[in-house]
Structure formats: structure tokens, C-alpha cells
Amino acid sequence: MMIETVRRLLQENGHLHAPIETLSDNADLYQAGLTPFAAIRTMLAIEEAFEVEFPVNMLRRQSFSSINAIVACLKELHADGARQAA
């Protein structure tokens, strides 16, 4: 579910050169056409969809370099949120 949502949001906001379905989860999104501006648009869409906020330490190129990198950040944010709620 999470990975499908990230893929959809990248398709809608990433302005990639290739269709998202042709990219592996480890594909370099910047090589696929993701620009810094499109990364910000995608990040904002992800924050809204998952009701999270990326902290400053995650606002770096590596966090959005692949679908797997984005999902890893989201899992970390959800784990941090669960720890804070406990």
C-alpha cells in the first residue's frame, strides 16, 4: 500500500521522463528526471497523503533518490510517531 501510494504521487508530481511503472524501487529518481522542484512537490504530496512532516535531517537528496529511500523515510517517521505516542 505505502509503495503504491508513493509511486502514484511520484507519477503525479515527479515529472519523470519514464512512466513510473517502468522504474524499479531502487531506480535513481534523479536520473529518471526528478528535479529539486519536483522533489519538493512530491514531498509535500507525500506529507499530505501520509499525514507526516519530513524533519530537516531528511530534507536531502538521498531521501528522495529512489522509491525505496522514500519508503524507508516514511517507515522511520511512522516508527518515531509510534514511539512518541507510546
Per-residue pLDDT of the chain (86 residues; tens, 9 = 90+): 899 999 999 999 999 999 999 999 999 999 999 999 999 999 999 999 999 999 999 999 999 999 999 999 999 998 876 667 65
All domains in the chain, ordered by first residue:
2-85 (1.10.1200.10)
Which of 25, 27, 23, 33 has its CA nearest to residue 14?
A: 33
H or E element: which one contains 39?
Answer: helix 36-50
CB atoms inside a 10 Å sphere around CB 48: 10
pTM: 0.91
Cα–Cα nearest to 23, from 35, 38, 13, 33: 33
